[in-house]
Structure 1
Amino acid sequence: MTRNDEFSEYVAARWPRLVRAAVLLGCSPAEAEDVVQAALMRCLVHWRKVERADDRDAYVHRVLVNTFASSRRRHWTREHATAHMPETPSLDHTVAIDTADAVLRSLDRLNRDQRTAVVLRYYAHLSEQQMAAVLGVATGTVKSRLSRALKVLAEDPHLAELRGTP
């Protein structure tokens, strides 16, 4: 199997999950695809290095987080051109839209480090050790970021509505 074949298989299997992780980090869906594509381009260039990593998924998530952080420092992320307007959702999808909106509003209340920790732990399902490797911090730092983030989320009024509590 060639390098390109291995990479293509990896991307095919992980693309939706990586795009969703980028959305949860704070990207719009279109921007998420761009950020993931840029991250994967970096991975392709250094694919042998990615293959030798102890945990390939953790390595790719680290590249994704770094690419996302870099994209936020650029001015082009402030405008999003589109060829057409998105469809108006039907009434059947309002509950899912309300839930997604509440979750994204809640994630917006977290600082960047806390939000990244929550996405890597609860969406990407990385262990605390994997997260520490991805973020380049100690395991204790990962635990404290998650603890503080969960405290903020527990007190969030948007999520309280979803739980049905006042």
Structure 2
Amino acid sequence: MRNGRDEAFTAFMSARYPSLLRTARLLAGGGPRAEDLVQETLLRTYRAWHRIGRLEAAEAYARTTMVRLLVKDRRRRWHTEMPAEQLPEVALPGHEDQTATGVAVRNVLQTLPPAQRAVLVLRYYHQLSEGEIAGVLGCSPGTVKSRAARALAALRNGGLLTAVSYDRDRSVDRD
């Protein structure tokens, strides 16, 4: 039985690791902090694997665990990256815009408190509903709404987000 459990978990981890790492990078910033968050999430998911049962449930469990580790575990202190002896590999040509956008989004998200950051990542990256986010965070949908509103207001007030309005012709005007 244990061997089947290990195989199922390995298949889940192989399939979902890139997605979990992207989520962790949005939540915790880049580098080792995100990798540590994913590793702790996978460890806890493996420990609970006998209770999870389905792959769909495993993904939801892992995402919930990741967010709760970030938001509620105040004892964990993330440290900045340490310089390495060798430079990392250079990105392939033609991906500069995507890389710059990803870095900019992560930097903007890092200006927010963890709970507000989690709400924005779950809402706009994972496209979860307010009720689903409330379930992940263990709070009410009203709390999710207020955290989202505060986060977006903080980003606007800090000049990191511009207001967008839509007119009747569905064209976009930036303020």
TM-score range with shorter-chain normalisation? 0.7 to 0.9
Task: Specify the alignment match of 1:47 in structure 2.
Answer: 49
Q: CA deviation at 1:22?
A: 0.6
- Deviation string for 1:20-70 (max 9, x for gaps)? 111101232333222211211111111122337994433211211233357
- In terms of mean alpha carbon deviation, does 38-47 or 99-108 score higher? 99-108
Task: Specify the alignment match of 1:5 in structure 2.
Answer: 7
Q: What is the 5 A alignment of 1:13-162?
A: 13-51=15-53, 55-69=57-71, 73-75=75-77, 77-80=79-82, 82=84, 84-87=86-89, 92-160=94-162
Cα 1:14/1:149, change in 2 over 3 Å: same
Q: CA deviation at 1:79?
A: 4.7
Aligned residues of 2:23 and 2:121 also touching (Cα < 8 A): yes
Letter in 2 for 1:129: G
Please give the alpha-carbon distance, in whole angstroms, between the structure 2 residues aligned to 1:90 and 1:44.
Answer: 34
**What is the percent sequence identity of the aligned residues?**
37
Please give the alpha-carbon distance, in whole angstroms, between the structure 1 residues aligned to 2:47 and 2:16.
Answer: 18
Unaligned runs of 5+ in 2: 163-171
TM-score in terms of structure 2 length: 0.74
Cα 1:101/1:87, change in 2 over 3 Å: same
Q: What is the alpha-carbon root mean square deviation over aligned residues? A: 3.2
Matched positions, count: 164
Please give the alpha-carbon distance, in whole angstroms, between the structure 1 residues aligned to 2:93 and 2:56.
Answer: 46
TM-score in terms of structure 1 length: 0.77
Cα 1:58/1:127, change in 2 over 3 Å: farther
Structure with greater contact order relative to length (CA < 8 Å, sep ≥ 6): 1
**Aligned structure 1 segments of 4 or more residues deviating by more than 6 angstroms:** none
